[in-house]
Amino acid sequence: MATKIAVLDDYAEVSLEIGGFNRISDANVSVFTDTLKNHDQLVERLLAFDVICMMRERTPFPAALLDALPNLKLLVTTGPRNLSIDLDAATKNNVTVCSTESRKTTTSELSMLMILNLSRNFIDEYKAMDGGGWQQGLGRDLHGQSLGLIGLGKIGSQMATIGKAFGMNIHAWSPNLKAEKCAELGVEHHANLASLMSASDVVSIHMVLSERSTGLVDAAAMSAMRDRAILVNTSRGPIIDQAALLQGMKKGKPWKAALDVYDEEPLPADSPLRDKELTDSGRLLLSPHLGYVTEQTWQVFYTQTVDAILAWQEGKPIRVLNAG
């Protein structure tokens, strides 16, 4: 009997071509390009499938959903971890959960692109040129500016290297960050978030979402920012208090902001973040979670997704997240 496989949330409609799903013999593959939020609709869509392939956290798999899918045997998530999957519930339901590897440079590249865009007013200048106009104002050099990093893990460390290449002075803080690591990377260590915010012309967030980091960048943190400071978030939406961000921007702190991640994704059309006054003025730059959306990353994601399915079919699953 053919294995029924669902590929979820393939917004770009490239999974079949890039992943080589034709390598799987005797399989029926269905690709879904939209994200369903309603539990009952999800269950109806996914009930018949033996294998479900996830794209990161676009569709969470809590216990209630896993309990409602008795036919599910294998769940493959792109990326090395996925906090939106209830692994205990998967184990209880005899669902094997496998992962893929990921590239490590895409998010830092996008973060710097956003910083450059806001610093040099690039989008506004492009719009003016496209409309038949010419220069609209003055940009700001990165050289000599201070880049504050909330988090100095793999991506944060890449940001430190990139920032230095632009001649920026690098500062960092996170709850568990040691001064010794900062010293190794030539980064100034800060004892608390307020100190980092007040020392930085640009602040970029690179932390994992957890109970501890949810709402971390709140009204108090933003009020500590320098005048004409920029805030960038390519990590996870809930790390920033969204309401506090909008209120802070009305007061000028932050002066500008760039977001690639949101509390709810895709971002609803009526989200308060789609504030025309802020977006049209070039002060708020919104992008649709592009941090990991590149050809090279998708090749890793979908090729290894197919590899995981083939290994599972052979009884030798790889990169198992709920082993033991």
Residue 319 inside a domain? The answer is no
What pLDDT, in 10s, does the model give residues 257-280? 999 999 999 999 999 999 999 999
Q: Are 161 and 197 found together in one domain?
A: yes
Q: Are 73 and 165 found together in one domain?
A: no
Q: Are 214 and 270 found together in one domain?
A: yes
Q: Are 129 and 82 found together in one domain?
A: no
Q: Are 187 and 263 found together in one domain?
A: yes
Structure tokens at 320: 């198992």
- For 90, 92, 94, 189, 321, the CA distances from 311, given in Å and listed in that order, are 19, 21, 17, 45, 14
Residues in CB range of 247: below 8 A, 6 or more apart = 219
Q: Are 122 and 234 found together in one domain?
A: yes
Q: Are 206 and 276 found together in one domain?
A: yes
CA dihedral (178, 183, 187, 188) positive or negative: positive
CATH (domain of 182): 3.40.50.720
Q: Which residues constitute the domain of residue 34?
A: 3-103+294-313
Q: Which one, of 279, 300, 304, lies nearest residue 106 by Cα?
A: 300
Give me the number of domains the chain comprises.
Answer: 2
Q: Are 153 and 190 found together in one domain?
A: yes
pTM for the predicted model, two decimal places: 0.93
In the structure, what pLDDT confidence band is assigned to residue 324 with cuts at 50, 70 and 90?
Answer: low
Structure tokens at 211: 């109970």
User: Rounded distance, CA 120 to CA 139, Å?
Assistant: 4
* pLDDT, mean of residues 1-9: 95
What pLDDT, in 10s, does the model give residues 118-166? 999 999 999 999 999 999 999 999 999 999 999 999 999 999 999 999 9
Q: Are 9 and 141 found together in one domain?
A: no
Measured in whole angstroms, how far is the alpha carbon of residue 272 from the centre of its chain? 20
Q: Are 98 and 216 found together in one domain?
A: no
Q: Are 51 and 177 found together in one domain?
A: no
Q: Are 216 and 234 found together in one domain?
A: yes
* Torsion angle in degrees (nearest 10) through CA of 45, 49, 52, 57: 30
Average pLDDT, the chain: 97
